[in-house]
Amino acid sequence: MELWDLYNENRELLGRDHIRGEEIPEGCYHLVVHVWIRNSKGEYLISRRSANRPSFPLLWECVGGSVLKGEDSLQGALRETQEEVGLQLSPADGKLVRSVIRDRVNGVRFADLLDIWLFFYDGEVSLEKATTREVEQVAWMTPDQIRTLSDAGKLVPTLGYFFEEAAFTR
């Protein structure tokens, strides 16, 4: 059973736990992180979701997921990265790019506070070091290559902000 903290729209903890999979009460939100990892060549590490994932199987995405009870956004970002792609990133190599409230995305209720992180990392990636099997493949790709995936319907559709966010193109 995965537990999340609940927040109000001002990112204030409500002192209430939430069990993953249950409906989030109106006026409450949980914290979610997206982690984009860029190397010195300007490429981004993206991952292909495993075929057994309940949503968006076999589509490409950045690292991400729900922040667990007691974690802050950065801790959640570092944990998700370790779990999904086996990387232990340094907190000093990351920056919070954007925070948004997502009540609904493409008509679906999300009820989350999304923090988007950008980390810099040069090195090898080995899925053998991942602690979950959520990801079946990783690749370093340029923004143009990621756009091609998106145009072909092979990128998780909630990641369209990547192409609008100035912090990613610098």
Residues 6+ apart with CB under 8 A from 38: 44, 45, 118, 119, 120, 121, 168
Residues 6+ apart with CB under 8 A from 149: 46, 60, 141, 155
Domains of the chain: 3-169 (3.90.79.10)
Instruction: Note the pTM of the prediction, 2 decimals.
Output: 0.94
Instruction: Place 104 in a pLDDT band, splitting at 50, 70 and 90.
Output: confident
Range 58-75 average pLDDT: 97
- The pLDDT score that the predictor gives to residue 127 is 94
- The pLDDT score that the predictor gives to residue 105 is 79
